[in-house]
Structure 1
């Protein structure tokens, strides 16, 4: 009997270790396969069925955790991304009033991503308190609450919620209760906020890699006359050094080229894996065109000459409609690869239902997007023809599923 018990214990221990390296995908990736129109891609992905195991993949990059269903940048969201097999997990990095780094998508988004407005003591510290909409004048509801309004200790008392606010709300409750119908509040009863160091410790314990994004400050820098942009950029890297994280496991990001250049100059081991996030379509609206290289300043070769190795634009900039309803790489994608730049795309599963074209992230291929299954068509082109290193996703299970099916890392 003792021998049997000992044997069972060994089997269970081995199973637990094995299960820790398996991804839990749930039904969504298979729903997307079912939604694909008949063809070779559907046949291939259908053959990659539910009766097999799936492993974590670096191709699957967690965007803010798993914000399709969990409050973003919370411990719960990170754990969901881990379980869905995200090989790289993101923390957008902002700073508090006492200059501590925390995970938040924007320095000034606490009024839409946390319960701060329902906490009178902390709401009083906001840069701008809640102001209801006024239908008579057309004024929209608004507020502005920043990480730099609070100390780290105050920040940690907040609860994360789904990122949303109703600009037409005339009451605080209505302003906060605005989650889009295609997301859910089912898992938003708790949302444990994290400092950057807590995120590092958690992701390290899970055995995954890191991609911190240094957020563009929304307060004048130097902050309070003394905290400079370079100190902020250096503080991000210093947290990894203090935790003993090798540079090879970290992909620091920024929308500001100056931050990437700072890391390259001051910490080249980390700088070599730095990701330049390209939002010139918004910053240079009306001038930037991914099909016209003359509108790209700096150009691809110039970026490479500056030391940039990884470029990350939104999904739509990397693709365009091809013949007969297909999707093909854009001029932007082809020229980036020609210049030797590696590519990462953002962000899958952030658009809601794709019926009718899919909105911002699918704007360049809207004529050939008809339904949710087209997320997998886009993913397939990004992998096979564009050759991206990975894809940020609000629901990493989809990218994990695809990467396992096609053998992506």
Structure 2
């Protein structure tokens, strides 16, 4: 692989910053981890991974520091000098992923091992380049023609605007991505949902996706992450796999693929199904190239034990046979995505609904705050003391209640004039 860093022009970060693949190759050639590069540049390890995958690009002083750091790694004299600098070459060590499986010694396929050795030679600066077959979704990554030069790409069709560009990308990749998600999950509805979610997010962030070097890879990463999310097991609709394929060979292939761990399943699908080379597969699975090679070796070994057709071919032809099996598999469910306009319109409607909900919630909070300010007391009002029982009070005293006989006598005396006040009033006879 040709070095793309010009140390003489390291003062100009815009001209000397290498491509994402070259950044990763320089780091692996120096046997540095993401944490060590992040400590040397002054950023986090996640930021370095994002720079190497091409999702983001450094800016300002970080770009200049990162460019100078890569220039030191690309300079053989500085890289070999025992100065103890971060760019100093280190002895070979194991893959930095602690979860990576050790390479198998008994029944490991030779083709992934050869790919691992080839990628290691490329990272060591020997001029070798690990290239994969043509991608199933139409994106050939690292392909070369018979003369050794880069393969000619078909001319891109002119598009009129963002909507037309999105529709073209959706028409080109949605069907293949739905099939790949089905191979990852075994659920047709979940596969279509993952692809639709990925393209909806792509439309929401279309300026970023349109300028991405690999827009199909951008969408593919989102769809794979959504499809392999462990939270789907708690959903009633996706709790059980769909109806298995009709052909026995397809059922055996799908069952064998679903029996692999998710990270091994994703590595096999990217390398053998999509056709990415080993460094690109490692970058998309967020692993080092040796770790991706180990995962591929163990995944092929497990598939060889479960698929009779795979055990009958030599190890160097297993990758090609797996690609043919993936292509020939016929799902028992419908994997036709919805039209691009429906996906794009659904994302726009969802955005409008969220915007309206946010504005409504903000208005309710403002009204509640205003009502509270208007009705809240402006001065302190002491609370009323609670009642207390008083003892020692004599019972109610006074005349006793009249009996029936006493009431009759009382009424008679009040009704008799001789006994009332009228007896002293003068009368005229």
- Whether these two folds match at TM > 0.5 is no
Specify which structure has the higher proportion of strand: 1
Structure showing greater relative contact order (alpha-carbon pairs closer than 8 Å, 6 or more residues apart): 1
Task: Select the structure of larger CA radius of gyration.
Answer: 2
Q: What TM-score, normalized by structure 2, do the two folds share?
A: 0.28
Q: What TM-score, normalized by structure 1, do the two folds share?
A: 0.29
Specify which structure has the higher proportion of helix: 2
